[in-house]
Structure 1
Amino acid sequence: MKQFNYLLLLLLLFVISVNIIGQNSIAEIKDADKNQPITLTYKTIDTVKLDLTFRYPPEFKKSKKYPTIVFFFGGGWNGGTVKQFEPQAEYFASRGMITVLADYRVRSRHKTTPYASVADAKSAVRFLRKHAKELNIHPKKIVASGGSAGGHLAAACGTLPGLDEPDEDLNISSKPNALILFNPVFDNGPEGFEHKRMGERWQQISPAHNITEKAPPTIVFLGKEDHLIPVSSAENYKAKMEAFNRRCDLHLYDGAGHGFFNNYKYDGKFYTLTVREADQFLKSLKYIKGAPEL
């Protein structure tokens, strides 16, 4: 029995040490090894902890504030993994940005609705801006990005006036300064995606129905063969943005279906094309410099 208790104690200490290694507090992140991905919890709901995974640029300088891009994975607000955008995160870190992979609540793991996913996305952007100083983030150069439902979350952060967590400091903006969207869900209206699922409050959660003159500059990537997001949806979104004199670059790709931008699809062809265009977009905003590196 004593030996069993001893082994149990060792196991407990091991688990605790793994958690300490895998997690960092805001106070600890200052001295953490920036050559490795760093994980930080940005939100806790009951027993659920939601994390951000940071990658810092090579030759990181503590005295510098960096443009930052946060990625939201796709999966219909039902599932998905933060690993989806690891290739893009590694690339833009190499281009001098802080990159962040954001976890958020989904139906399969947390029994939640898209409204909870939006609240989490807004919390993530607000967290980055609130702790910009400690994280070496330029608070006026925060980019939100994502694919499919993750693109919806990024667009929601950029357009929706509500759906923030009420207990957060709403004086700190959850609006990104720019958006990079991969076959995003724009429209949750009567003719849009998952309209019935959004219920009577659908106008509160549909980015296409909340565009104003304050919408961030946006770039959109969409395959012409996408069976979930019609080209007309993206074209209508672009028209609404431009009606408010807001920038919305739209790139359409022949022979490309849903999720075409992932590096494991189409032999990486569209991954390269979309990342290159996103690079040029960020350069035009003066967030990065130099020529694309792929």
Structure 2
Amino acid sequence: MKLFSLLIMFGTIVQANDLRYFAEHDKREIKSEIIDSEHQLRLISSLPENWQESDKRPAFVFIHGGGWVAGEPENFIPQMRYFASRGAVCFSVNYRLLKPKNYRWNKKLSDEENKINEQKKLQEFIAGPSLTELISDCEKAMLHIRKNASSYGIDPKRLIVIGDSAGGHLASCMATIVKAEARANTLVDCNGITDVTYDPWINNIKPCNDQLAKAKQVSPVFNIPTQPIPALILHGDQDFIVVEKMAREFHNALYSKGYSSEFKLYKGARHAFIVYNYSATLEEMTQCLLDIDAFAVKHNFLSGQATLAMPDYSVADQKIILQAAELKTGQEFKYAKDFPGQFTLSLKIKPEKKFNGSLLQLSGNFGLNHKVHNNGHDLSSRRFRQRNKGFKLIAEQWNDYQLAVSNDKVVITLNGQTTEYEKNLPLGFISNTLIIGKGLKAEVKDLKLYNYPF
């Protein structure tokens, strides 16, 4: 795992790792406990170094998303481990889930059979938990944490609740709707559903005489108490699941009630940008956590500098870092840390008459895959994809291939013809494993990998 930087804090050198370290390598224990045996509600937790029961540390309480019908507290383990490394005691809440009511018609069944199945689905939804009960589950977790503050080594007056999407709704409820003794001291809402009267969210209200009134009862935007707390509202301008307008309305409503509310819009970010290995680039997730860290420092939940590193693709010395005159298709190359996020790769390739496979692959969650076939190519990674039928390797002949990746663009040169693609968002391709010609019927030679684009 690449170590990006060293920070000096209180005379001690502290390692600054990227988010992958906390997601994939951090060995910090995650504890689990049942706080409600009737509904099997779990609470998971992560402790900081040198924790003692007598401490008065801040508590970070995460609430997962998933449209109220999916998700689990483990979704936030990377974030928990990071903020635990910053000195907080971290929790993630489990709550009951709604029963999905949407039914997809089966073409193999008759209309009558589909109608029966659709009605069964609706009855399961009606018989299952309601949004009010989900709020109650999270409220129970908040009360449990505060009641047991002395055992957890936390300050019961320093609970910051953080939620995403449906979890953003529930986190915002923990700052608004719930009774005062369960209420959070600070809120971070990431693309939360804070107004359930919006379509389609109102459809999650069970059938009743006044569905709109019921939706307002479980909407944080309509239930803001008079005791202001700090709030951070984060949203992506490419979020087409929870609209930006809702986030702005919630921020404005908080601000009008005297809350110290801040709003930040991430350019290019989609829905659930805080969730690891979902829709966001490593850079987007990192920026979100750095903003939460700075907000927590501002309001005395944390102190000192953040120890989460933004991916750094700069190089000190421009050079060839990998070279192979002869190689086999499917051959794998490992690098001690990571291959550089910006690079130039060149090789010669002679495909068979019919071919379809991966010319090169930087494996992993944040890597890159360049597939080629007789009719064109498909270059893809997280949040980046380009397909082009005009880009064609010539079968049964040697082709000169070059791929150059920089901060803002990807340039492919094939037999002297160049195709350029803009990235339009912060995105590096990061991996410590390079695979050449996986599944591809071809000969390959003269591989060179430079640690800079040209």
* TM-score, L = length of structure 2: 0.52
Q: Which amino acid aligns with 2:59?
A: T
What is the Cα deviation at residue 35 of structure 1? 5.7
Q: Which amino acid aligns with 2:182?
A: S
1:36 to 29, 33, 45: 29
Any unmatched runs of 5+ in structure 2?
1-26, 101-126, 206-210, 309-454
Question: Structure 1's 203 and 215: CA in aligned 2 closer, same or farther, altered over 3 A?
Answer: farther
The equivalent residue for 1:168 is: none
Matches within 5 A, 1:125-136: 125-136=142-153
The equivalent residue for 2:177 is: 160
1:174 to 166, 172, 182: 182
What is the Cα deviation at residue 140 of structure 1? 0.0
For residues 236-279 of structure 1, the C-alpha deviation after alignment (integer angstroms, 9 at most, x for no partner) is 11111111111111110111111122232333121100000000
What is the Cα deviation at residue 232 of structure 1? 1.3
**Are 1:252 and 2:259 counterparts?**
no
1:293 to 304, 307, 310: 307
CA separation in 1, counterparts of 2:67 and 2:285?
20
Work out whether residues 67 and 287 of structure 1, in 8 Å CA contact, stay in contact via their aligned partners in 2: yes
What is the Cα deviation at residue 192 of structure 1? 5.2
CA separation in 1, counterparts of 2:58 and 2:249?
29
**Are 1:272 and 2:286 counterparts?**
yes
CA separation in 2, counterparts of 1:123 and 1:78?
19
CA separation in 2, counterparts of 1:138 and 1:56?
14
CA separation in 1, counterparts of 2:132 and 2:178?
13
**Are 1:229 and 2:242 counterparts?**
yes
Work out whether residues 51 and 153 of structure 2, in 8 Å CA contact, stay in contact via their aligned partners in 1: no
CA separation in 2, counterparts of 1:285 and 1:69?
13
The equivalent residue for 2:196 is: 188
What is the Cα deviation at residue 121 of structure 1? 0.6
Moved more, 91-100 or 204-213: 204-213
2:72 to 78, 81, 85: 81
2:140 to 100, 116, 123: 123
What is the Cα deviation at residue 99 of structure 1? 0.2
Question: Structure 1's 205 and 178: CA in aligned 2 closer, same or farther, altered over 3 A?
Answer: same
CA separation in 2, counterparts of 1:192 and 1:244?
26
Question: Structure 1's 193 and 67: CA in aligned 2 closer, same or farther, altered over 3 A?
Answer: farther
Q: Which amino acid aligns with 1:276?
A: L
How many residues are treated as equivalent by the alignment? 249
Q: Which runs of 4+ in 1 moved over 3 A?
A: 108-111
Q: Which amino acid aligns with 1:40?
A: E
Q: Which amino acid aligns with 2:151?
A: E
CA separation in 2, counterparts of 1:62 and 1:161?
28
CA separation in 2, counterparts of 1:242 and 1:130?
30
The equivalent residue for 2:94 is: 103
Moved more, 105-114 or 58-67: 105-114
Work out whether residues 158 and 215 of structure 1, in 8 Å CA contact, stay in contact via their aligned partners in 2: no
CA separation in 2, counterparts of 1:286 and 1:114?
32
> % of aligned pairs identical?
27
CA separation in 2, counterparts of 1:62 and 1:116?
32
The equivalent residue for 1:242 is: 255
CA separation in 2, counterparts of 1:63 and 1:54?
17
Question: Structure 1's 289 and 155: CA in aligned 2 closer, same or farther, altered over 3 A?
Answer: same
- Bigger helix share: 1
- Bigger strand share: 2
Question: Structure 1's 134 and 180: CA in aligned 2 closer, same or farther, altered over 3 A?
Answer: same
Question: Structure 1's 95 and 149: CA in aligned 2 closer, same or farther, altered over 3 A?
Answer: same
Bigger-Rg structure (1/2)? 2
